[in-house]
Chains A and B, each alone.
Chain A
Amino acid sequence: MPNNAMTMIRQRVSWLLVAGVVALIFVSYGATPAVTTALLASTVRQSTPLVLGALSGIFCERSGVINIAIEGMMLMGAFVGFLANVYTGNLLVAVLAAVLMGAFMGLAHAFMSITLKMDQIISGTVLNILALELTGFFYQQGLTTQGKLTPVRIPVLADIPLIGPVLFDNPPITYLSLVLVVVVHILLFRTVWGLRTRAVGEHPKAADTVGIDVIRMRYINVIIGGMIAGLAGGYLTLEAVGSFERAMTNGRGFVALAVMIFGKWTPLGAWGAALLFGFANALQTQFQFLGISTIPHQFVGMLPYLLTIVVLAGFVGRARPPAAIGQPYEKE
């Protein structure tokens, strides 16, 4: 069957791709170790908000709720985290504030799309626009912070060439995102909770018949999704930039959705996809660093967005979203 052959090739292709990337990294490291290390380290950090955003999307969508409000959740998390840092000077409190704000946004999204049964894409758009307007209104210029989260070197491991500086010399939220990828994977595929979440997202009626509270499961998952998106926002203001700017999320919440789809709604897949996008971003900054000016910076700036479109166009048909996505649950 040609179809089977195609699937075989496709499966092989993804492994070949991974092998090719690894080989390329080694060759590149052999040629210019410093640039390669900087590029990969930057890739990991740039992928942090995307992988967190994608995990947020996975929580919501696996339970059957579309979340296009990741952008707004991130923005609110970024803003509130920043304010908390300004007024308390305590970075831990600030991160918690960002996560809490995200939880509140998740609750709002859950209320609108689950209880009020609003169209979930409209509900997400409402939150995105409200987030943009609220942060714009309450933001005052000239607020300064006590600093931001700095890299924590993990002894011994950080001394391994290439892998050390790339993976074991990162700031806290980046570490946390890597841990979360594994935790969410286990939660989703190895626990009863995960099974129930997926059941609610695939076939809510069947889940209901076996005694799973569909509404409650969806609420909790969307709120957790909000918390993770809030953390992604916290990454922006508390770890990456150190201050807040209007609309600073710059579409990352939407790119994260493409990352989620590219990763086929799985945490590990999303991590791989996020690294690809992180690499596109890292390339952009490296270009500026190295002063490569033959390509106008606007074209390099388009890269992540074009990549998102290409990824969506190429993969959305092949990846299957949870079956009950977008439909409010009506108990009979």
Chain B
Amino acid sequence: MADAKIANGAPPTRWQRFAQAITIPLLAVVLAMLVGAIIIVIAGANPLGGYTAMFRGALGTARGLVRTFEKATPLIFSGLAVAFAFKAGLFNIGAQGQLILGAIAAAYVGFAFEGLPPFVHLPLALAAGMLAGAIWGAIPGALKTFTGAHEVITTIMLNFVAINLTDYLANGPWKDRSPGNIVARTPAILPSAELPSIGVVPLGLLIAIGMAVLAWWVLANTTFGYEIRAVGLNPAAARYAGMSVGRTVIASMAISGLLAGLGGAVETLGIVGRYQPGFNTGLGFDGITIALLAQTSPLGVVPAALLFGVMRAGANQMQLYGVDAEIIGIVQGTMLLFVSAPIIIRKLFRLRAPEGGEEVVLSTGWGSSG
């Protein structure tokens, strides 16, 4: 079938490439759920019932569906952020920091700018989130370009700086001073900055999907996207071809941060209604798994994030059924393992490796500035 045609030398059709691209992620998901099931059995519970409760909780009711969409929305953004940087050969582990700064910036504009009509206030708050994320993303890009500091370390360090910074703001100058409040959080955003829902579909989800399509289009159809991919595949060749590698690195990281920041803003304005520390932990790391599960394709991020949304939204029902909801973290971690070590799956299922795929190499050493 597909393999035979490739062996005959004919280039694979779009559908064959698509089938090839989704085989590994699908098998990774199935295998990871199997591993999860084994752990559930060891822990003395019923995995089939647990998973059924999870899916029913996430998809069975209108309320469950809303929760799934709400959980998936910021994950699409963080997944997109990581995937976009990947295309330029950059590993953005800092989506978390970019996301929370976007969240708090949007919250600030949301509660502090009074008297604006919604069609001005809401876009302004979203823009603030994007700007905060883009700046936080551009810093490691610039550090890499000008000093050679590897983004894997600088982005994770900036996560901790961002956590401290937002903690300070939510406890200090931007703290909710309303009587009775003792926790660290900002005041609630004004109604004019709220991101509405259309039926069960939050507007934020539509923005997320729109951004996924836009990111895919930019990468596939523009000169800028071509430069990003060229730099990701071979920075030396890209430089030789006359591209500015440094500029591309900084721009890619800024866009990556922008996407994460927008995710934080959408969560603040559409779901949480204010910034509260600790409300969005783990979104950045989940973004890594989602991006790899999507094989770094911006369009693939959407279904991958929806799957994660289902797992997060159904966690409560699973817990009620008697399966420790923390198992989801292990299942996701195992997915990451299988999807990033495709050789394990290929050996298990005797699959052939695809020929001549685009592969980005991250481990270029600490000193290289690309």
Q: Which residues of A contact B (CB under 8 A)?
A: 66, 68, 112, 116-123, 125-126, 129-130, 132-134, 136-137, 250-251, 254-255, 257-258, 261, 296, 298-299, 301-302, 305-306, 308-309, 312-314, 316-317, 319-321, 325-327
- Contact present for B150 and A320 (CB under 8 Å): no
For the complex, would chain A's binding face be called helix, strand, loop or mixed by DSSP majority?
helix
Give residues of chain B (130-154) contacting chain A, Cβ–Cβ below 8 Å: 143, 146-150, 152-154
Residues of A near B161 (CB, < 8 A) are 302, 305-306
- Contact present for B365 and A257 (CB under 8 Å): no
- Contact present for A313 and B149 (CB under 8 Å): yes
**Residue of A126, A261, A319 ringed by the most chain B CB atoms within 10 A:** A126
Known: A250-B160, A302-B161, A320-B367. 13 other contacts (CB 8 A): A66-B365, A116-B341, A121-B152, A121-B363, A126-B340, A130-B333, A137-B330, A257-B153, A308-B153, A312-B153, A313-B147, A317-B367, A321-B366
- Contact present for B363 and A254 (CB under 8 Å): no
- Contact present for B156 and A121 (CB under 8 Å): no
A309 to B147, CA, bound (A): 11
The verdict on B194 contacting chain A, using a C-beta distance below 8 Å, is: no
B319 to chain A, nearest CB (A): 13
- Of the candidates B154, B361, B367, the one whose C-beta lies within 8 Å of that of A309 is B154
**Residue of B147, B153, B285, B337 ringed by the most chain A CB atoms within 10 A:** B153
Give the top 7 A-B pairs by smallest Cβ distance, nearest first. A326-B363, A133-B329, A298-B168, A312-B149, A313-B147, A298-B164, A133-B333
- Contact present for B333 and A316 (CB under 8 Å): no
A122 to B288, CA, bound (A): 10
A134 to B6, CA, bound (A): 41
- Contact present for A316 and B150 (CB under 8 Å): yes
The verdict on B91 contacting chain A, using a C-beta distance below 8 Å, is: yes
- Contact present for B337 and A130 (CB under 8 Å): yes
A258 to B150, CA, bound (A): 10
15 A-B Cβ contacts within 8 A?
A68-B152, A118-B343, A119-B363, A122-B362, A126-B336, A126-B341, A129-B332, A133-B333, A296-B172, A302-B160, A302-B165, A305-B161, A309-B158, A325-B366, A326-B364
- Contact present for B147 and A316 (CB under 8 Å): yes
The verdict on B292 contacting chain A, using a C-beta distance below 8 Å, is: yes
Residues of A near B364 (CB, < 8 A) are 326
- Of the candidates B153, B344, B362, the one whose C-beta lies within 8 Å of that of A119 is B362
Residues of B near A261 (CB, < 8 A) are 366
- Contact present for B148 and A317 (CB under 8 Å): yes
- Contact present for A129 and B333 (CB under 8 Å): yes
A255 to B154, CA, bound (A): 10
Q: Which residues of B contact A (CB under 8 A)?
A: 91, 93, 143, 146-150, 152-154, 156-161, 164-165, 167-168, 171-172, 285, 288-289, 292, 324, 326-327, 329-330, 332-334, 336-337, 340-341, 343-344, 361-367, 369
- Closest A-chain residue to B332, C-beta based? A133
A204 to chain B, nearest CB (A): 14
A313 to B165, CA, bound (A): 21
Residues of A near B148 (CB, < 8 A) are 316-317
Q: A136-B326, A136-B329, A250-B160 are in contact. Are A312 and B168 (CB under 8 A)?
A: no
- Contact present for B143 and A309 (CB under 8 Å): yes
Residues of A near B326 (CB, < 8 A) are 133, 136-137
B343 to chain A, nearest CB (A): 5
- Contact present for A116 and B336 (CB under 8 Å): no
A170 to B150, CA, bound (A): 35
- Contact present for B288 and A313 (CB under 8 Å): no
A125 to B343, CA, bound (A): 17
A292 to chain B, nearest CB (A): 16
Residues of A near B152 (CB, < 8 A) are 68, 121
A60 to B334, CA, bound (A): 24
- Contact present for B93 and A118 (CB under 8 Å): no
Q: A301-B164, A302-B165, A312-B150 are in contact. Are A254 and B366 (CB under 8 A)?
A: no
